[in-house]
Amino acid sequence: MNDHGYPHEPTGVDTRKLGMWVFLSTEILFFGTLITTYLIFKGRSFDGIRLEEVYDIPFTSVSSFVLLMSSLTMVLAHNAIEKFDQERTNIWLLATALLGAVFLAGQIYEFTEFYHKGFTLTENIYGSTFYVLTGFHGAHVFIGVVLLIILWGVGQRQKGLSLDGGMNLEFIALYWHFVDIVWIVLFTVVYLI
Amino acid sequence: MSQAHKPHPTPKQYVQIAIILGILTAIEVALYYTESIVGVFTDPLLMILAVGKFVIVVGWFMHLRFENKLVNRFFAGGMILALVLFAIVMLERASANFFFS
């Protein structure tokens, strides 16, 4: 899997992998649209509570760090499967899923806190764009966690992932890192700026 | 179109990259709390740090810098389209504010 040359493919790239990158390209546009919509309303004045009045930067910073570290465990799982080290692959896959679940739990806690403080989905259009943007990101993380657990389960059931299973791991890794880079942008645009 | 590729980083190098990402995140949070000192440079610096983290994850963790040019073009295409969309919407909003406010 380390050799990316595919002479039998007219494009020189594995078609499935190219398809995954095309999918990620469309996802960039999807989140680009949501971020643009959020930014239209970010600087405007609305009735009701604003995000700046309720958020907790230290808490979100820790969540961001957890998601960043899940990218590390994901890439270590990818590295392990390239060396056919099934045991480490399973450990890193599970660690990635757990870190993703911790991030999700943090987001659910954060949303609950915001809701109790009065910053709700229907408070104003700014609140709506915030919840749609970060909610869709959370949904992507949830899908990623489910995919990781399924892949880990397949590895456990088959006593290790096959070469094809390794390719699936590479696709899930690409998806997971993509979810991470979206959060890198969201953390800065939504919380810090 | 098949081409020779550079070897992927080792696990030790991945950990070093993750430490750099962690440090950049810490700097971001520090900048947020020192906005009164850093002043107008805070937002541009935050943007630069975010772009830096983005490039590191895409280049090294997603292995884009080791990939075929076609894959790079698809990813760059998505990014450019998203930025064009952003620019068009912001221009539209700016002109609407200018003419109708």
Residue A159 region by backbone torsions, left for phi larger than 0, else alpha for psi between -120 and 50, else beta: left
pTM of the entire predicted model: 0.91
State whether residue B27 sits within 8 Å of chain A by CB. Answer: no
Whether B70 shows a pLDDT value over 70: the answer reads yes
Please answer yes or no on whether B54 and A184 come within 8 Å at the CB atom: yes
Structure token pair of residue A33: 């649209």
Residues of B in contact with A169 (CB under 8 A): none
Query: Within this chain, do residues B92 and B79 fall inside the same structural domain, yes or no?
Result: yes
Domains of chain A, first to last? 15-192 (1.20.120.80)
Residues A96-107: pLDDT tens digits?
Answer: 999 999 999 999
Domain assignment present for B34:
yes
pLDDT at A6: 60
pLDDT at A77: 95
In A31-183 the beta strands, taken as DSSP E runs, fall at: none
Query: Within this chain, do residues B52 and B97 fall inside the same structural domain, yes or no?
Result: no
pLDDT at A1: 47
Mean pLDDT of B62-83: 92
Domain assignment present for B13:
yes
Q: Is A20 exposed, middle or buried (0-12, 13-18, 19+ CB in 10 A)?
A: buried
Domain assignment present for B89:
yes
Query: Within this chain, do residues B42 and B76 fall inside the same structural domain, yes or no?
Result: no
Helices A163-186/A125-157 angle, 10° precision: 160
Across the interface, of A33, A58, A69, the residue whose CB is closest to B85 is: A33
Whether A165 shows a pLDDT value over 90: the answer reads no
Domain assignment present for B39:
yes
Q: Which residue of B lies nearest to A58 if distances are taken between CA atoms?
A: B29
Structure token pair of residue A103: 């991030």
Domain assignment present for B2:
no
Residues of B in contact with A3 (CB under 8 A): 5
Query: Within this chain, do residues B38 and B48 fall inside the same structural domain, yes or no?
Result: yes
CA angle (B6 as vertex; B2, B9 as ends), nearest 5: 140
Query: Within this chain, do residues B14 and B61 fall inside the same structural domain, yes or no?
Result: yes
Query: Within this chain, do residues B48 and B38 fall inside the same structural domain, yes or no?
Result: yes
Structure token pair of residue A126: 């700014």
Q: How many domains does chain B have?
A: 2
- How near does any CA of chain A get to the CA of B14, in Å? 7
Q: Is B36 exposed, middle or buried (0-12, 13-18, 19+ CB in 10 A)?
A: exposed
Query: Within this chain, do residues B58 and B31 fall inside the same structural domain, yes or no?
Result: yes
Whether A158 shows a pLDDT value over 90: the answer reads no
Query: Within this chain, do residues B22 and B45 fall inside the same structural domain, yes or no?
Result: yes
Query: Within this chain, do residues B41 and B51 fall inside the same structural domain, yes or no?
Result: yes
pLDDT at B101: 64
Domain assignment present for B85:
yes
Query: Within this chain, do residues B41 and B76 fall inside the same structural domain, yes or no?
Result: no
How far are the Cα atoms of A75, B8, B59, B71 from residue B63, in angstroms, in the given order? Answer: 10, 7, 5, 11
Residues of A in contact with B68 (CB under 8 A): 4, 11-13
Domain assignment present for B61:
yes
State whether residue B70 sits within 8 Å of chain A by CB. Answer: yes
Whether A161 shows a pLDDT value over 90: the answer reads no
Query: Within this chain, do residues B59 and B88 fall inside the same structural domain, yes or no?
Result: no
Residues of B in contact with A29 (CB under 8 A): 78, 81-82, 85
Instruction: Report ipTM (2 d.p.).
Output: 0.88
Residues of B in contact with A71 (CB under 8 A): 18, 21, 57, 61
Please answer yes or no on whether A29 and B78 come within 8 Å at the CB atom: yes
Query: Within this chain, do residues B62 and B73 fall inside the same structural domain, yes or no?
Result: no
Mean pLDDT of A60-64: 96
In which domain, by residue range, is B94 found? 68-101
In chain A, the percentage of residues whose pLDDT exceeds 70 is 94
- Mean pLDDT score across all residues of chain A: 90
